[in-house]
Amino acid sequence: MTDVDASALRDEPVEVTVTASELVYEGRVWDVRSDTFVYGDDEIVRQYVDHPGAAAVVAIDDQERVLLIQQYRHPIGHRDWEIPAGLLDIAGEPPIDAARRELAEEADLDAERIEPLLSVFTTPGGNDEVVHIFLARGLRPASAAFAREAEEADIRVEWVPLADAVEAVMSGRMRNGILVAGILAAAELLRRS
């Protein structure tokens, strides 16, 4: 192994030739695809979730508290703690606008300032989802409250000191991957400033 210049570390896109792509299952939110592609000297078949992507928001108030929401998630059988987030399911909507929309829809809040924090591949071995996470500051009540249904009908909203949220992540009490990435990135950004 050789030492690598840390500034050179980055994910690298790779061009492959897809020789076949089949829609295995068409879902309401995402699809399952089976692709055959050439990688090196091999022809490989992989199935994956074809996902539209998402936007999420770490909303921090003037007291350095972070907004957390809790809602039921059927695949894991838990009401997990999350940050406001939602699908990029409106054609042409930029991720930052989706983040603003989700903050209003899930927490009835608007933000004076919203800026990119980071983007993450959630499960690169099984889906192509990218979640764009934003930092929101200058929070105020939204002009209108949103009606919530299904799993969102009983969303629990809490303001938690950022340091307490970091502790909950580090002790394994909160495990939602988007929350983990967003909380730790926001804490590091604020530590640096």
34-64: buried (b, 16+ CB within 10 Å) or exposed (e) per residue?
A: ebeeeeeeeeeeeebbbbebbbbbbbbeeee
Largest CA distance in the chain: 58
Spatial separation of the C-alpha atoms in residues 65 and 43, rounded to whole Å:
50
Q: Which whole-number Å values give the CA distances from 16 to 39, 43, 44, in the listed order?
A: 6, 10, 11
Q: To which H or E segment does residue 99 belong?
A: helix 95-107
Concerning whether 93 is annotated as a catalytic residue, the answer is no
Amino acid at 165: A
* From 82, 112, 129, 152, active-site residue: 152
User: What are the catalytic residues?
Assistant: 152
